[in-house]
Chain A
Amino acid sequence: MAFSTLFFPFVFLPIALGLYAITPRRLKNLVLVLESLVFFAWGNPVYVVLMLLFIAFHYFTGLELERLGQRSHALAQLVLVSAVAVDLLALGYYKYYGFLAGELSALVGGTGKVQTLAAPIGISFFTFSALSYLFDVYRGKTEAARNVIDFSLYISFFPKLVSGPIAAWHDMAPQLRDHPIRRYKLSSGARRFVVGLCKKVLLANTLGTTFYALSAMPVESLSVLGAWLGALSYSLMLYFDFSGYSDMAIGLGEIFGFTLPVNFDYPYAAQSITDFWRRWHASLGAWFRDYVYIPLGGSRAGTARTIRNLLVVWLLTGIWHGASWAFVAWGLYHGVLLILEKFVFRRVLEHIPGFVRRVLTLVLVVLGWVFFFSPTLGSALGWLGRLFGAGGAPLADAAALYHLASCWKVLLLGAVGAMPVAGLLGNNLIRQRTPLWRVLSVVVFGVLLYFCVAGMLSDTYTSFLYFQF
């Protein structure tokens, strides 16, 4: 069940919160775990068994790692490596088996078609949470979980289950013991949830109609304007979709007394690609930094090693997003940009004015999304070509003008909404202390909420983009 379907805010959430509130304190986490399992079961009930096995496996592995860590480093390492291998195999089976088997079968002259199973929702996210736990315990950074209920909650907590943010164990462990409901958290959580809902339902879904109409056209028939409209509407749609979902997750977390990590900080206002990745899906970036980049030696072992480490991290980041060559290309594209930024153009960039740097970064990011949204590498290259008029693409055509007329207002709204000025405006509105302004801010939220409900009812068939990852 997506947060942006009617059933969630109107039925599931009030029941979940009500039950949670009336439960005695020592049973609260248990109730949250059960609620999370129901949430997880919504799509495919039998996978609850998998989830329970998954939790048990990591719980006992954690205890074992801690026990062995005090005696034999080699044995602990062996346990860690095997556990990680099991996780990656499971993840690989659900997410990549179809792709790999298909490519192999095509290589040996087969049809390239294979039977696959639907992946459990959020598998990429909860697997990464569990891996963070194993690594933290192995390194002695934290103790292993003793309380199996708390640990289950860490893995399955429904606000972050399907699409993050990926909370690291060392951030979550202290909160699991104590996370009281507070009035200020309830209200700011509810507000954040509504903001996220607006981003998803009002902006992302509306931008989606333009993008999907343009991407349904054959690439060779796109005009330059059409290709840019498609790329821009996708860029904004993806941001509002994903950051909206993160906002809803963080808001829900707050309602239940948790502080989940911030995932998006106006990424399209970034000054460089490095900056972009501190602002876009920050919890995934932090995960790769803490558990891949730094263990590989980070940037302290010479230029050659640093470049290798960056390429490894970005190859993995690409693959994490999905099983296709286009995602691999997208990951490596960002890896190469980061390497260029760090080692080749560093001096040059320092002398460029901030505004120019921002525009340059934005263009590079938007070009990257073309790999991200294209089904194949070939169509990505085709689209990139059309952006710059390759193949005799006309500057504009009737279709592009039609879509421009349909979407320019939303693009403009989105462009403002994706910049820090939107947050500034919002905060100023709710910071006003005179009664008139207070009422006004509630009215604004009320109207937004009204249109969210209307949008949710009308959009029963669009679902959250990041579910497939």
Chain B
Amino acid sequence: MDSQERKRRIAARQAAARRNRVNQGLYLGVLLAGLLVVLTLATFFGTDREYSESENRMLAQRPAFSAAALADGSWFAGLEDWFADQFTGRDGWISANLSLRRALGQQENGGVYLGKDGYLIQQPETPNQPALDRNLAAINAFAAAHPDLSCRMTLVPNAVSILADKLPANAPAPDQQAQLETIRSSLTGVDFLDVTQALQAHADEALYYRTDHHWTSLGASYAFAAMAQGLEIAQPVTEYDIYTVSNTFQGTLASKSGCHDSYDTVQLYVPRAQVDYKVTYASSQTVTATLYDRTALESKDHYTVFFGGNHPRVDIDTTAETGKKLLLFKDSYANCFVQFLTPYYETIVMVDPRYYYDNIDTLIKQAGITEVLYLYNLDTFQTDTSLADVLETTEK
């Protein structure tokens, strides 16, 4: 077919179509104009929200106009951001989009697998190999420099490997077992306490939240039972008072994926033991008699019921006269794990290296530390860039 004929055909087709489309265009025009006008006016004259619960972030506000902002383009960009963030019914539109995408077959969103039984499962990040090597070297050097301390490590595998059955079929996932093995074999002078088997044995229970990247108190309790012997705890308490403090929790994975279909239950496990304690938050110099922060239940992130979130340093002094004084290098997985440790230690000092900048040897001397435990989830541990900095303050 030559191009002349093609052009003629296209022109004829267009002319015929044009004749027939005129009337129908009226309905469409009304629909379009209506949608545009209603939504735009509603957005312009609606009240702006400051914060989005479902996205877990601050929303863009109306940009301030200035000549400089106009010249460098930031006013235009700010206007666009503001309009999108404050768009009428934003959350509803976003979940409508996700529903469509899922109907079309999509099985992940925003780095989160949309798993079975309402499980949202985070895709682990690629390990930061140079940082990991540096951290491991620092951990080994620290152990060598402190022969009087017993150093131990537990890395908690993530939902992506323990809950492999809940993943979409064939979903790519790293071999966390192999990663743990590599890390374990490169440790010297550090006792690696494995919890993988203990968690795998209970994989059909609620070990991880459905909507959050953390493990649950139940998961932590199985891990503790598996670690007790390694921690030289002779007679671990096996009875707990269990308090359900929330069943409306929607965590970080719900925000990341935009999928708000399910809710989680947050439980506190209090060991039945005659031990009192006080908790000191070093940065704010506050002292409390509880590990829990009930005000967290009024905020978005109910997981922060444990210690109110992450702090540079938290000291827990107990009435347990065991002579054991623990220094805990940790990420947020430890926050719900520490409730299991209180009966067995006179002192627990939690240090979160991501926010801690003081000399660690001074701390060890002042607190009379006898043991060190590294407790991280594997994903965070393999991407952490701050642990070595804290450990190396000893060598100066």
Partner of A449, one of B21, B35, B43: B35
A398 near B172 (CB under 8 angstroms)?
yes
Name A residues whose Cβ lies closer than 8 Å to a Cβ of B. 1, 5-7, 9-11, 14, 41-46, 183-184, 186-188, 190-191, 194, 202, 206, 209, 262, 265, 278, 398-399, 401-402, 405-410, 413, 427, 430-431, 433, 438-439, 441-442, 445-446, 449-451, 453-455, 457-458, 460
Contact of A43 (CB < 8 Å), options: B13, B73, B101: B73
Partner of A187, one of B29, B104, B168: B29
Establish whether residues B6 and A41, one from each chain, have CB atoms under 8 Å apart when the complex forms.
Answer: no
Query: Which one of B76-84, B181-189, B309-317 is at the interface?
Result: B76-84
Which residue of B is nearest A15, CB measured?
A: B40
Contact A442 B24 (CB under 8 A): yes
Chain B, 95-109, CB within 8 A of any chain A CB: 96-98, 100-101, 104-108
Q: Is the CB of B25 within 8 A of A186?
A: yes
Q: How far is the CA of A458 from the CA of B22 in the complex (A)?
A: 33
In chain B, positions 8-58 with a C-beta closer than 8 Å to chain A are 10, 13, 17-18, 20-29, 31-32, 35-37, 39-40, 43
Chain B, residues 92-132, CB within 8 Å of chain A (1/0): the string is 01101110110011111000000000000000000000000
Task: Type the 1/0 row for B223-264, where 1 means its CB is closer than 8 Å to any CB of A.
Answer: 000000000000000000000000000000000001000000
Contact with A along B294-316 (1 / 0, CB 8 A): 00000000000000000000000
Q: Does B289 contact A (CB under 8 A)?
A: no
Question: Is A438 touching B31 in the complex (CB atoms < 8 A)?
Answer: no
> How far is B28's CA from A442's CA once the two chains are assembled, in angstroms?
6
Contact of B28 with A401 in the complex, beta carbons under 8 Å: no
In the complex, residue of chain A having the shortest beta-carbon distance to the beta carbon of B168: A402
* Chain B residue with the shortest CB-CB distance to A190: B32
Output the nearest chain A residue to B83 by Cβ-Cβ distance. Answer: A7
B274 CB-CB contact with A under 8 Å = no
- Of residues 315 to 357 in B, which have CB atoms within 8 Å of A's CB atoms? none
A446 neighbours in B (Cβ, 8 Å)? 31
Q: Which residue in B17, B29, B32, B106 is a CB contact (below 8 Å) of A406?
A: B106
Tally of contacts, chain A with chain B, CB under 8 A:
154
Closest to B100 in A: A451
B36 touches which of A14, A42, A188, A206 (Cβ 8 Å): A14
Name which of B3, B97, B98, B168 has the most chain A CB atoms within 10 A of its CB.
B97
Q: Are the CB atoms of A188 and B32 closer together than 8 Å?
A: no
Q: How far is the CB of B259 from chain A (nearest CB, A)?
A: 12
CA distance A7 to B39 in the complex (A): 12
Distance of A8 from chain B, by nearest CB (Å): 9
Partner of A439, one of B17, B27, B169: B27
Cross-chain contact A6 with B84 (CB below 8 angstroms): yes
A449: B residues at CB distance < 8 A: 31-32, 35
Whether A42 and B76, one on each chain, are in contact in the complex, defined by CB atoms closer than 8 angstroms, is yes
- Shortest 6 CB-CB distances between A and B: which pairs? A187-B25, A454-B97, A402-B170, A458-B97, A398-B170, A442-B27
Q: Are B168 and A438 in contact (CB under 8 A)?
A: no
**Does the CB pair B36–A45 fall under 8 Å?**
no
Q: Can you add 6 more A-B contacts, CB < 8 Å, to A430-B21, A450-B96?
A: A278-B6, A402-B171, A427-B13, A441-B24, A451-B100, A457-B87
Contact A5 B32 (CB under 8 A): no
* Structural contact, A402 and B172, CB atoms closer than 8 A: yes
Interface size class of B (residues with CB under 8 A): 35 or more
Closest to B13 in A: A427
Q: In the bound complex, do residue A191 and residue B28 qualify as a contact, i.e. CB atoms below 8 Å apart?
A: yes
Q: Are A45 and B31 in contact (CB under 8 A)?
A: no
Interface residue B395 (Cβ < 8 Å from any Cβ of A): no
- Please, which residue of chain B has its CB at the minimum distance from the CB of A38? B76
A219 CB, nearest partner CB in chain B, Å: 16
For A262, the chain B residues whose CB sits under 8 A away are: 10
Residues of A within 8 A of B40 (CB): 10-11, 14
Contact B22 A187 (CB under 8 A): yes
Contact B168 A405 (CB under 8 A): yes
Q: In the complex, how many angstroms separate the beta carbon of A3 from the nearest chain B beta carbon?
A: 13
Contact of B105 among A6, A41, A410, A457 (CB under 8 A): A410
Neighbouring A residues of B22 by C-beta, 8 Å? 183-184, 187
B91's nearest neighbour on chain A, judged by CB, is A457
- In the complex, what residues of B have CB within 8 A of residue A6's CB? 80, 83-84, 87
Q: Given the complex of chains A and B, what is the CA–CA distance between A457 and B169 in angstroms?
A: 29
Docked-complex contact A402 and B93, CB < 8 angstroms = no
Which single member of B6, B70, B98 contacts A45 (CB below 8 Å)?
Answer: B70
Q: Which residues of A contact B96 (CB under 8 A)?
A: 450-451, 454
Chain A contacts for B24, CB-based, 8 A: 187, 430, 438, 441-442
Contact present for A457 and B25 (CB under 8 Å): no
Are A445 and B93 in contact (CB-based, < 8 A)? no
B72 at interface by CB-CB < 8 Å:
yes
User: In the complex, what residue of chain B is closest to A449 when comparing beta carbons?
Assistant: B35
The distance from the CB of B362 to the nearest CB of chain A, in whole angstroms, is 44
* B76 near A188: Cβ-Cβ < 8 Å: no
> Which of A46, A408, A439, A455: most chain B CB closer than 10 A?
A455
Report how far A7 CA is from B215 CA in the complex, Å. 40
A191 to B107, CA, bound (A): 32
B108 contacts across to A, CB distance below 8 A: 406
Which residues of the partner chain B approach A413 to less than 8 Å between Cβ atoms?
A: 104
Binary per-residue interface labels of chain B (200-231) against chain A in the complex, 1 for a CB within 8 Å, 0 otherwise? 00000000000000000000000000000000
Q: Can you list 13 A-B pairs, Cβ within 8 angstroms, ordered by A?
A: A6-B84, A41-B76, A45-B73, A186-B29, A187-B28, A188-B25, A190-B28, A206-B104, A402-B170, A431-B17, A442-B24, A445-B28, A445-B31
With a cutoff of 8 Å between Cβ atoms, the chain A residues found around residue B71 in the complex are 45-46
- Contact, CB under 8 Å: B25 / A455: no
**Contact for B93 among A11, A202, A458, CB less than 8 A:** A458
B170 & A42 in contact (Cβ 8 Å cutoff): no
Most-contacted residue by chain A among B13, B21, B168 (CB, 10 A) = B21
**Is the CB of B90 closer than 8 A to any CB of chain A?**
yes
Expressed in whole angstroms, the Cα–Cα distance for A288 and B202 within the complex equals: 67
Q: In the complex, A457 Cα to B258 Cα: how many Å?
A: 12
Contact digits for B349-370, partner A, Cβ 8 Å, 1 yes 0 no: 0000000000000000000000
* Contact pattern, B 163-183, Cβ under 8 Å of A = 1, otherwise 0: 000001111100000000000
Chain B residue nearest in CB terms to A429: B24
Contacts of A9 in B (CB 8 A): 36
Chain A's nearest CB lies how many Å from the CB of B42? 11
Contact of B84 among A7, A42, A206, A398 (CB under 8 A): A7
Bound CA span A184–B28, Å: 12
Interfacial chain A residues near B13, Cβ < 8 Å: 427
Question: Could you say which residues of chain A place their CB within 8 Å of the CB of B10?
Answer: 262, 265
Known: A457-B94, A458-B97. A7 touches B172 (CB 8 A): no
**Residues of the A chain whose Cβ atoms lie less than 8 Å from the Cβ of B43:** 10
Residue of A whose beta carbon sits closest to that of B27: A442
A7 and B80 contacting across the interface, CB-CB below 8 Å: yes
Q: B23's closest neighbor in chain A, by CB?
A: A438
Distance (Å) between the CB of B80 and the closest chain A CB?
5
Cα A370 to Cα B204 in complex, Å, equals: 44
